[in-house]
């Protein structure tokens, strides 16, 4: 079986809202449906049967077990389009793109949508675990006496629902607390973090101003731009914020240089060249390759969010590329310090030798090529929606430039990382 080239035809997302903001009434299914319908309208896909739709949400209600399929059934796509859910924490969106791209490459399908949605405003509250067990016991009771006995165990304190926590199950530490440890290890300064944050806001605002997102973002529920975006952000203003993660002198991570909880959804349309030609659509970029990695953060061997450099090293080797062979770097800003830790680690000879097994360090990148149209610190980060946002943004950047190559890197909970390479199409490269 021969492999085919895979193309990013386009993308769509809704502006990202701050948690408890404009999307309080929207569910993941609503947002995914809206994003799919936006793509359907933009690319004339009404009633079309696509190869598949892969998407997911990190925080999901039990009733959303078939979230993506339900969104497809509520959309203007053909109801005969299959769909499935994927969950790889913040790597979800990019992982779905890799999955769909692989199937297209193998010739199993010709087209597909990949993406994700997340909301912290419509998050599931679970029954207190003890109460849930009591109710299950009562449910399975055979006699009324057994049932009464089971129900008699309910205590008022069990009526408080369990809220989903942004914490690692195995360490009990929040992502920010984990990141604070790594930030300190790599000696990342507060100033460097705030500077990266300001760049993210300024770059995203400038991209909106020049209309870059006009065909990538569909307004939703009264939002036309990301709610978290602060075009007037400055290092001076950010310097006034108190650290929220880490303790004492070395604490550098604030609410400003960390991504806020947010709501939103994104999708990208991928296809073979033949499918794009048949539909008279111009591909934005070629989806070259992807790689995932994971590290043992549980016992402190590696930082929770330090997996991406491992994936980057393997991906570069497989594609015979160096870290400097790129025109754009899209490194997801979970926290400003995450990006800076990755960059520091990839420049560090010791880290690259002992951890990545490389003779030479991956080296430094040209910082003017990093997140040039802003990233998660400014846009917000609805976990599963970030991959689709970045793939669509980078694909359009490559199409605008008409040549070159871009690297995507996304860190994820559970000590994971998902990375990918996109390239300008051969027509663009001519």
Contact residue for another protein among 8, 34, 83, 407 (CB under 8 A): 34
Active-site residue flag, 352: no
**332: annotated active-site residue:** no
Q: State the Cα–Cα distance between residues 418 and 429, nearest whole angstrom.
A: 26
Query: 389 with 96: CB under 8 angstroms?
Result: no
Are 382 and 265 within 8 A, CB to CB?
A: yes
Selected binder of another protein within 20, 79, 107, 300 (CB under 8 A): 79
**Least distance from another protein to the Cβ atom of residue 124, Å:** 17
Which of 120, 193, 218, 271 binds another protein (CB under 8 A)? It is 218
Of 393, 413, 322, 307, the C-alpha closest to 89 is 413
CB of 21 to another protein, least distance (A): 12
> Does position 88 bind another protein by CB under 8 A?
no
CB of 51 to another protein, least distance (A): 20
- Which residue in 45, 218, 58 sits closest to 124, CA to CA? 58
d(CA 389, CA 288): 17
Shortest distance in whole angstroms from residue 18 CB to another protein: 16
**Considering beta carbons, is residue 222 or 357 the nearer one to another protein?**
222
Cα–Cα distance measured from residue 296 to residue 299, given in angstroms and rounded to the nearest whole number: 7
Interacting stretch for another protein, rule CB under 8 A, among 103-111, 218-226, 296-304, 417-425? Answer: 218-226
- To 10 degrees, what angle do helices 129-140 and 144-151 make? 170
Tokens matching residue 263: 């709501």
Smallest distance from another protein to CB 173, Å: 35
Kindly tell me which residue out of 76, 225, 279, 314 binds another protein, with binding defined by CB under 8 A: 76
Nearer to another protein, 189 or 224 (CB): 224
Which residue from 11, 30, 118, 370 is in contact with another protein, where contact means CB under 8 A? 30
Residue 394 sits in the site that holds another protein (CB under 8 A):
no
Single out the residue of 12, 19, 68, 75 in contact with another protein (rule: CB under 8 A): 75
The smaller minimum CB distance to another protein, of residues 267 and 421, is found at 267
Q: Is 222 in the site for another protein (CB under 8 A)?
A: yes
Site for another protein in 46-65 (CB under 8 A): 46
Whether 341 is a known active-site residue: answer: no
- Regarding 69 and contact with another protein (CB under 8 A), the answer is no
Tell how strand 52-55 and strand 285-294 pair up: unpaired
Q: Which is nearer to another protein, 27 or 96 (CB)?
A: 27
Which residues, 6 or more positions from 66, have their beta carbon under 8 angstroms from its beta carbon?
83, 85
Catalytic residue, chosen from 76, 90, 342, 399, is: 90
Report how many residues bind another protein under the rule CB under 8 A: 20
Residue 306 and residue 376: Cα distance in Å, rounded? Answer: 17
Count other Cβ atoms within 10 Å, centred on residue 420.
27
Binding-site member from 12, 19, 29, 259 for another protein (CB under 8 A): 29
| Cβ nearer to another protein, comparing 265 with 306 | 265
Minimum gap (Å) between residue 284 Cβ and another protein: 24
Q: What is the radius of gyration, based on Cα positions, of the chain? A: 22
Which of 21, 74, 361, 414 is close enough to bind another protein by CB under 8 A?
A: 74
Q: Which stretch binds another protein (CB under 8 A): 23-31, 53-61, 113-121, 235-243?
A: 23-31
Establish if 328 lies at the interface with another protein (CB under 8 A): no
Up-side HSE of residue 375: CA atoms within 13 Å toward CB? 29
Residue 26 near another protein by CB under 8 A:
yes
Q: Which is nearer to another protein, 45 or 410 (CB)?
A: 45
Which one of the spans 31-39, 126-134, 157-165, 244-252 is the region binding another protein (CB under 8 A)? 31-39
Active site amino acids:
90, 381, 411
Residues that bind another protein (CB under 8 A): 22, 25-27, 29-31, 33-34, 37, 46, 74-76, 79, 218-222
């Amino acid at each position: 079986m021969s492999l085919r080239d895979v193309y990013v035809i386009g993308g769509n997302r809704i502006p990202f809202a701050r948690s408890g903001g404009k999307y309080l009434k929207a569910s993941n299914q609503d947002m995914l449906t809206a994003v799919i319908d936006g793509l359907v309208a933009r690319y004339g896909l009404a009633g079309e049967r696509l190869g598949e739709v892969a998407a997911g949400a990190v925080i999901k209600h039990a009733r959303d077990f078939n979230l993506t399929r339900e969104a497809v059934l509520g959309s203007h796509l053909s109801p005969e389009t299959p769909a499935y859910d994927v969950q790889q924490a913040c790597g979800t969106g990019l992982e779905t793109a890799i999955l769909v791209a692989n199937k297209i490459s193998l010739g199993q399908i010709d087209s597909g949508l990949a993406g994700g949605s997340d909301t912290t405003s419509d998050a599931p509250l679970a029954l207190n675990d003890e109460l849930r067990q009591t109710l299950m016991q009562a449910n399975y009771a055979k006699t009324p006496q057994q049932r009464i006995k089971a129900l008699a165990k309910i205590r008022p304190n069990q009526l408080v629902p369990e809220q989903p926590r942004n914490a690692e199950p195995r360490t009990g530490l929040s992502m920010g607390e984990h990141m604070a440890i790594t930030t300190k290890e790599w000696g990342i300064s507060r100033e460097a973090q705030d500077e990266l944050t300001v760049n993210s806001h300024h770059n995203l605002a400038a991209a909106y101003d020049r209309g870059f997102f006009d065909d990538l973002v569909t307004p939703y529920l009264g939002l036309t731009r990301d709610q978290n975006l602060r075009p007037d952000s400055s290092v001076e203003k950010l310097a006034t914020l108190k650290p929220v993660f880490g303790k004492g002198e070395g604490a550098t991570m604030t609410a400003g240089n960390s991504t806020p909880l947010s709501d939103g959804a994104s999708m990208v349309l991928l296809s073979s060249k033949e499918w794009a030609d048949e539909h008279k659509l111009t591909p934005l970029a070629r989806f070259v390759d992807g790689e995932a990695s994971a590290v043992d953060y549980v016992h402190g061997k590696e930082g929770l969010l330090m997996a991406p450099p491992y994936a980057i090293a393997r991906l570069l080797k497989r594609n015979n590329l160096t870290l400097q062979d790129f025109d754009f770097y899209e490194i997801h800003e979970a926290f400003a310090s995450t990006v800076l830790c990755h960059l520091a680690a990839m420049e560090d000879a010791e880290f690259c030798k002992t951890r990545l097994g490389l003779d030479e360090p991956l080296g430094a990148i040209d910082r003017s090529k990093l997140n040039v149209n802003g990233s998660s610190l400014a846009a917000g980060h609805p976990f599963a929606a970030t991959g689709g946002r970045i793939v669509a943004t980078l694909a359009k950047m490559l199409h605008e430039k008409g040549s070159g190559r871009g690297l995507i890197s996304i860190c994820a909970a559970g000590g994971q990382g998902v990375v990918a390479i996109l390239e300008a199409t051969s027509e663009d490269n001519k």
